[in-house]
Structure 1
Amino acid sequence: MKYVIGIDIGTSAVKSVLVSAEGRVVCEHSESYPLHRPEPGWSEQNPEDWAEQTIISLRKLMVKAKVDPSEVEGLSFSGQMHGLVLLGGNGQVLRPAILWNDTRTTPQCRKIEDKLGSQLLDIARNRALEGFTLPKILWVQEHEPEILSQAEVFLLPKDYVRYRLTGSFAMDYSDAAGTLLLDVAGKAWSSEIAGAFDLPLSLCPQLVDSSDLTGTLLPEVAEATGLLPSTKVFAGGADNACGAIGAGILGEGKTMCSIGTSGVVLSYENRKDINPQGKMHFFNHGEKDAFYVMGVTLAAGHSLSWFKDTFAKDMSFDSLLEGIESVPAGSGGLLFTPYISGERTPHPDANIRGSFIGMDSGHTLKHFARSVLEGITFSLRESIDIIRQSGKEITEVTAIGGGAQNEAWLQMQADIFNAEIVKLESEQGPALGAAMLAAYGCGWFTSLAQCAEAFIRPAKTYAPNREQADAYTELFEIYQNVYGQTRGLNERLAAFRQ
């Protein structure tokens, strides 16, 4: 037998999966690490926690799986995007990593926009948002200049772990695209953007493709993990890029909808001249010379969790959603907007907040629960529509994450998106995508698409119900009016938020 390992460096834990040549997940193991919030709006982690817990996770994975280490040919990574790790001349970490969900950098975002103007979208293809890496570097430049002066290189989370395992610095294009320092179409660090802020290009690591070989395990790491020093280590990719690979989004028109805490609509793109003008993200894919467009709903699954915890705390999710298929489309005239944490696509607005509109005394808990699902799905439909308006035909969407666990919700997605929804037989998300990069890098397959054919199997397809789809098209038009009608009210209410 031969195997590869996929490692996903998440925000709360690292997950390792051992995958056979047939695409079967033989074993998996997770290890958690802490998140630190030293100031309001700050979100930091100790990069060494990622490395140590990854080594522990790999060791326990090998013990549980009971496979010969000589059978593990390679491993690769998926990782949380955007997080800033600054390293000094001898590779030491200079300060805690500033994570993707850290919101301290609003002034730096405005500085980037003022300095670069339209050049930012022309080169980086994305707006300056607090989550991205360049604003974090500028925050350190302004508030901790003595730290930045010592920095020799910056890495992202999975790249730091890979450095600790192999001793080499590198960053793949899919993760580099989320820094705002990459010329996304040109696949090179941007001297124009770096120079505008007096940042040396030497701060940026070597760029590689996600399936490139970046070294083998250091002897001490091999001993600690139970693997061989000859184990091949491949670059890996950003979590969304690896999630796309793990869902088979590897060809023109292929689209996925991932509903977790946030919600993501991601569509494969082979045209490098696409510029969504900041309406959606445009990033390099984990597949060589490919790209993807992506829209984000900040509070997708989080909206449902918030609703359950606030109004049905003693119920399970299954109990809360039981029978919602009997509630008609439109939830009896009740409409929910999932802006409870602000919004990203198509409204990058930190001040907007959610709402229930159309409540009356006839509405029950089931009406509210269904309206929450509908509102989340309407928000994701806005991303679907932006992709369609670019000229892309979307007739099929692969559903992953929590939104793929409920049959009524899957049918709702088919009706609201007006597309067939495909649920996968076994879903491992970004960790599987990382394993597929290793399998392709090891030469098991001639392409990632061929790997996907062997590793990914559909379980069930949900087709749109024409009557329901027509009703949702009308309701969606009403939904789209809510943002404009409530924006001013929410700006005034912001003064009363604690």
Structure 2
Amino acid sequence: MLLLGIDVGTSSIKVSVVESASGHTLASASYPETESEIISLKHGWAEQSPQMWWANVKKAISICNAQHKYHAEDIAAIGIAYQMHGLVVVDKDGECLRNSIIWCDSRAVETGEHAFNQLGEQYALQHLLNSPGNFTASKLAWVKAHEPEIYSRIAKVMLPGDFIALQLTGEVTTSISALSEGVFWDFKENQISEALMKFFDFDKALIPEIKPVFSVHGELKKSIAEQLGLKAGVPVAYKAGDQPNNALSLNVTNPGEVAATAGTSGVIYGVTDQLLSDKASRVNTFAHVNHSAGQPRLGVLLCINGTGSMNRWAKDSLGATMNYTAINEAAQTISPGSEGLRVLPFGNGAERMLNNKIVGAHLQGIDLNVHRNPHIFRAVQEGIAFAFRYGLDILKENGMNPTVIRAGKSNLFLSDVFTQTFVNITGVPVELYDNDGSYGAAVGAGIGAGLFQSAAEAFAHKKPLKLVEPGTANLENEYLDWKSLLEKQL
């Protein structure tokens, strides 16, 4: 049987078709080829069109089908991964009422901080495991306060993956994992937070039907099946945010296991069975894909907004005629430490690990007689790796002490400079795997459809491509110099 995985990313949509028996990817496709637009009407705002996502999903599936490497009618289940924390609101007819306020949008920070203070630190951290911050619930409250006419017409609130599932099936569902990433879920009471809903004066009818992550969230509509060349009735059997999904795709499901990604944003995501919360809300805790009240599985998430976005800026601004492979090769020609050049990569909105401050991106120590583009390319990747070290130190304060980190060999982990710097400065080996979000979504669909009994069974065939261990280059002094620059900005 074949499984279709859809990954609704910020930059593009990627789809993969996976053979369930072997775990082999038969075909994959991304769309668009250039990065999708982020609409920023004001400083710190970030929106995308859900209709754009849906159009790009259809296009990506069409491109995948056109490779003629499988029979589309053999696809037995569909899974969806998606950019986390986005707000999508629809009316009673399922029509979008506004653009999605996406994960890196900062407009609701003050709204969330006010809610945190009013609900009380003890309640927020013990029950929600997070400050409402600029997460989905706070974004909805912002719409309620600033766009009351739109708010009055909202029938359902959903996350980006829920919207794609709605287009495929006509059904609107959610999960505990999704509600927790929106900071709607009360872990102590194992229900939607009564206190938060009352504080924001939200009607519970706005929340879709709650289903397990691994379950049937609806079946493919006949009209859509005809458009996509698929069979009607195929179940959408899995939906998860991109970071829990990435962890699943790396078989990170048990306490103590840790995954990392370095795409548009950078994330370290560790699994625990404890209801952990950071007093300063610099890291966040959400229900993992296999969480249940009887067997807690929580994902502790450290997010850095400005990782791949910083690398993209360097490429577009200084290496417009170069691809990322050429950028990485140029960075390798420069010695570790970038001859004193330092980069703070925080130019993509408010950074949670920096207490929701908008620090901005900075290049420090430029010597006009020494530094050229390759120095900047390397300094950018080193600065991103230093940001991961800063974040890992926060995770260690919260009881996460990984002995190995698993990551997909993609995005920044395609760069030897970044990967080796990451390993050297954190002191933690990295296992690199051949996987991505759409692969994880496909296999998640297989679990949800009952083709696999567990994640361990689904990913039993997956072996690391490479183990990267700490090398001889010691960048501790360079990191401390970088950290001092950051602290001055803070």
Q: Could you tell me the TM-score, scaled by structure 2's length? A: 0.88
Q: Using the alignment, how far apart are the partners of 1:14 and 1:149 within structure 2?
A: 31
Amino acid at match of 2:27: C
Q: Aligned-pair distance for 1:107?
A: 4.2
Of 139-148 and 180-189, deviating more is: 180-189
Q: Aligned-pair distance for 1:20?
A: 0.5
For the 8 Å contact 1:325–1:408, the answer to whether it is kept is: yes
2:217 is paired with a residue whose SS is strand
When Rg is computed on C-alpha atoms for both structures, the one with the higher figure is 1
Aligned to 2:389: 381
Aligned to 2:429: 420
Q: Which of the residues 292, 295, 301 maps onto 2:302? A: 295
Q: Using the alignment, how far apart are the partners of 1:416 and 1:281 within structure 2?
A: 23
Q: Identify if the C-alpha distance between structure 1 residues 111 and 375 changes in structure 2 by more than 3 Å, giving closer, same or farther.
A: same
Q: Which of the residues 98, 102, 115 maps onto 1:99? A: 102
Q: Which of the residues 448, 464, 479 maps onto 1:458? A: 464
Amino acid at match of 1:447: S
Aligned to 2:403: 395
Of 94-103 and 413-422, deviating more is: 94-103
Q: Using the alignment, how far apart are the partners of 1:88 and 1:291 within structure 2?
A: 32
Is 1:26 aligned with 2:26? Answer: yes
For the 8 Å contact 2:81–2:437, the answer to whether it is kept is: yes
Q: Identify if the C-alpha distance between structure 1 residues 410 and 46 changes in structure 2 by more than 3 Å, giving closer, same or farther.
A: closer
Aligned to 1:196: 199
For the 8 Å contact 1:262–1:299, the answer to whether it is kept is: yes
Q: Which of the residues 372, 378, 401 maps onto 1:370? A: 378
Q: Which of the residues 405, 411, 426 maps onto 2:414? A: 405
Amino acid at match of 2:464: P
Aligned to 1:8: 7
Q: Identify if the C-alpha distance between structure 1 residues 368 and 76 changes in structure 2 by more than 3 Å, giving closer, same or farther.
A: closer
Is 1:81 aligned with 2:84? Answer: yes
Amino acid at match of 1:145: P
Of all paired residues, the percent bearing the same amino acid is: 24
Q: How does 1:434-453 map to 2 (within 5 A)?
A: 434-453=441-460
Q: How does 1:90-489 map to 2 (within 5 A)?
A: 90-118=93-121, 119-130=123-134, 132-184=135-187, 186-271=189-274, 273-277=275-279, 278-289=281-292, 290-313=297-320, 315-322=322-329, 324=331, 327-341=334-348, 344-360=351-367, 363-365=370-372, 366-400=374-408, 401-424=410-433, 426-427=434-435, 429-454=436-461, 456-465=462-471, 467-468=472-473, 471-487=474-490
Q: Aligned-pair distance for 1:308?
A: 4.1
1:370 is paired with a residue whose SS is helix
Aligned to 1:492: none
Q: How many residues align?
A: 478
Q: Using the alignment, how far apart are the partners of 2:313 and 2:62 within structure 1?
A: 36
Amino acid at match of 2:16: V
Q: Aligned-pair distance for 1:199?
A: 0.9
Q: How does 1:40-51 map to 2 (within 5 A)?
A: 40-41=42-43, 42-51=45-54
For the 8 Å contact 2:215–2:449, the answer to whether it is kept is: no
Q: Using the alignment, how far apart are the partners of 1:275 and 1:283 within structure 2?
A: 10
Q: Which runs of 5+ in 1 are unaligned?
A: 488-498
Q: Any idea what the Cα deviations from partners look like across 1:122-171, whole Å, max 9, x if unmatched?
A: 332223433x2122211221223233223222111211221222222211
Q: Identify if the C-alpha distance between structure 1 residues 213 and 382 changes in structure 2 by more than 3 Å, giving closer, same or farther.
A: same
For the 8 Å contact 2:106–2:350, the answer to whether it is kept is: no
Q: Which runs of 5+ in 2 are unaligned?
A: none
1:64 is paired with a residue whose SS is coil
Q: Any idea what the Cα deviations from partners look like across 1:24-44, whole Å, max 9, x if unmatched?
A: 111123344974737324444
Q: Using the alignment, how far apart are the partners of 2:370 and 2:350 within structure 1?
A: 27
Amino acid at match of 1:85: V
Q: Identify if the C-alpha distance between structure 1 residues 393 and 231 changes in structure 2 by more than 3 Å, giving closer, same or farther.
A: same
Q: Using the alignment, how far apart are the partners of 1:439 and 1:311 within structure 2?
A: 43
Amino acid at match of 1:120: A
Q: Identify if the C-alpha distance between structure 1 residues 79 and 187 changes in structure 2 by more than 3 Å, giving closer, same or farther.
A: farther
Q: Identify if the C-alpha distance between structure 1 residues 327 and 15 changes in structure 2 by more than 3 Å, giving closer, same or farther.
A: closer
1:216 is paired with a residue whose SS is coil
Q: Identify if the C-alpha distance between structure 1 residues 367 and 219 changes in structure 2 by more than 3 Å, giving closer, same or farther.
A: closer
Aligned to 1:490: none
Q: Using the alignment, how far apart are the partners of 2:348 and 2:38 within structure 1?
A: 20
Q: Using the alignment, how far apart are the partners of 1:310 and 1:422 within structure 2?
A: 32
Amino acid at match of 1:28: S
For the 8 Å contact 1:59–1:224, the answer to whether it is kept is: no
For the 8 Å contact 1:72–1:227, the answer to whether it is kept is: yes
Q: Using the alignment, how far apart are the partners of 1:13 and 1:477 within structure 2?
A: 36
Q: Any idea what the Cα deviations from partners look like across 1:204-248, whole Å, max 9, x if unmatched?
A: 112222111123222222222222223122131011111221223
Q: Identify if the C-alpha distance between structure 1 residues 308 and 71 changes in structure 2 by more than 3 Å, giving closer, same or farther.
A: closer
Q: Using the alignment, how far apart are the partners of 1:36 and 1:383 within structure 2?
A: 26
Q: Aligned-pair distance for 1:291?
A: 1.6
Q: Using the alignment, how far apart are the partners of 1:399 and 1:472 within structure 2?
A: 22
Q: Any idea what the Cα deviations from partners look like across 1:301-337, whole Å, max 9, x if unmatched?
A: 2323333444455555444443755655433444332
